[in-house]
Amino acid sequence: MDRRRRKQAKTRQEDYEEVNSLAWEVITMTEQEEDIIRRMHKLVGDRWHLIAGRVPGRKPEEIERFGS
């Protein structure tokens, strides 16, 4: 029997669905965004949150998926 509270179970399910939907999205970037990502990756490596800070409107998860 599952002893988690309903709220916990619901929250975990929502998190799981969000990750799955992101995995299947096609991410398109402009040439400028691609250039920034490449340059920043050379400088800071896999620190996606730092790179995302330089690309307006992009989440670290999107940058990581694009850069991988």
Q: Is the pLDDT of residue 49 over 60?
A: yes
Distance in angstroms (rounded) separating the CA atoms of residues 10 and 4: 10
Residue 63 lies in a domain: yes
Give me the CATH number covering residue 62. Answer: 1.10.10
Residue 50 lies in a domain: yes
- DSSP character string of 36-59: HHHHHHHHH-S-HHHHHHHSTT--
Is the pTM of the predicted complex or chain greater than 0.85?
no
Residue 49 lies in a domain: yes
**pLDDT single digits (tens) 9-33:** 555 555 555 555 555 667 788 999 9
Give the containing element (helix H, strand E) for 21: helix 6-24
Residue 61 lies in a domain: yes
Residue 48's Cβ-side half-sphere holds a number of Cα atoms within 13 Å equal to: 11
At residue 11, the 3 state secondary structure works out as helix
User: Into how many domains does the chain fold?
Assistant: 1
- The residue segments making up the domain with residue 49 are 29-68
